[in-house]
Structure 1
Amino acid sequence: MPMPIAVFMLLIIFILANTSIGYAVWGQKSSHFRTRGYFYEDKPHEGRRLKRLQHSVSPKPRDTENNVTFIEDVSDYPEKMLKEILKMEGKVHKDIFGRDFLFKERTISTRIEPEETKLCPSLEKLVYPKLALNTDNDWKYVVNVGEEYVQGVRVETCGHFEKCSMSDSFPAGYTTKCEQQYVFRRLLSVADKGKTVMDEFRFPSCCLCTIRGPS
């Protein structure tokens, strides 16, 4: 092989080797930055780059009443940041997104037989939480962005927390009360560094009539 061609080939091999090393190092740095509060952002004419989070994604404490465990309308929801993150991670979690099945009837009372009486009224609906309480009793942002990245959860809440229907016919000394029951659901949420993670959250599942008798 002529000397100029051999030198040229060696130069090409050297460039490709250094390029591969460069990509490997960049991948390591990207992973390092990603866990330290950076996320990918696509810029027109600039390509993809890592951008540092402008603020923490840890929600502020919320003052809620009646044991509220989730919120749908959140003013400080980091939607723009999540859209950028989901451009890269959305396909990985595609099997997670969707909606629970909801009966056509809105209330349990329309699904029972005419001769039956519902002891505690309740309302069934589909919700799209953007903020929810996890098992550690911490508020976390839940992924619910646009029409593609949604997590619709079926909930059933008590119509009231007073005594159950027909409780006056119970034996003396017995008292009744409608109580909210809960279930834990695994949903895709956002960690403090902006990383999407699975977590368990508490949602109202049904309304139960509890009976307390003489001690």
Structure 2
Amino acid sequence: MAAAIATTWGIGKEQDLPWKIPVDSEYLEQITSKAYYNDTAATKTISNDRPWHNAVIMGRLSWESIPMKNGPMPNRFNIVISRNPSYKMAPYPHTSLATSVHEALEQANTLMKETQGRVFVLGGGQIYEQAMDLCTHVLLTRIHDPKEKVVCDSFMPPVNISLFAQASHQELEAFVQQPVPKGKQICDELEYEFLLYVRRSSSSDDVVIVDQDKKENL
């Protein structure tokens, strides 16, 4: 799961982002479109010439949002969730429709057998809520707004710290397999920070990085 959130856990306003942080947009594009290498064998077999490596899952409202404009995110397989099985989408390549989060994950996991890639849930609020119990990792860009000046009308549920533990910055970089700016960054009048939460082991409070070959990564 990946999201940019305000202090209130707000994620959007009037189907648009309530902030403009170019570095965060670039970060999201990089981590959701790159090829991931889970072992030596995968390094030898993954082709960088593929049109996509990972799948992104989003709800209909996110698909219709101003940033998306009813078009797919390039270099990723886009799965759109709508309860209406007759929802009309333009015939874009590398795009499909699902009627539930579970159906979307089934589609994505089938695709990942071919690419050895990852699955990212990108919202909106209802999709985050339904996927929270299923995800293994939560990648957050936290917008620090202590005076709550950022106004939002859509929200994601807070990460349950009894189920998820915040990983170190080193663990974040290892997970996304690239350097990530550390600590609070500044864009105009906003401060923001890149974070990773990982589902705790059911038998202890230890953080477990899940084997990506055995369980989907959201």
| More contact order relative to length (CA 8 Å, sep ≥ 6) | 2
Q: What TM-score, normalized to structure 1?
A: 0.19
Structure with the largest fraction of strand: 1
Q: What TM-score, normalized to structure 2?
A: 0.19
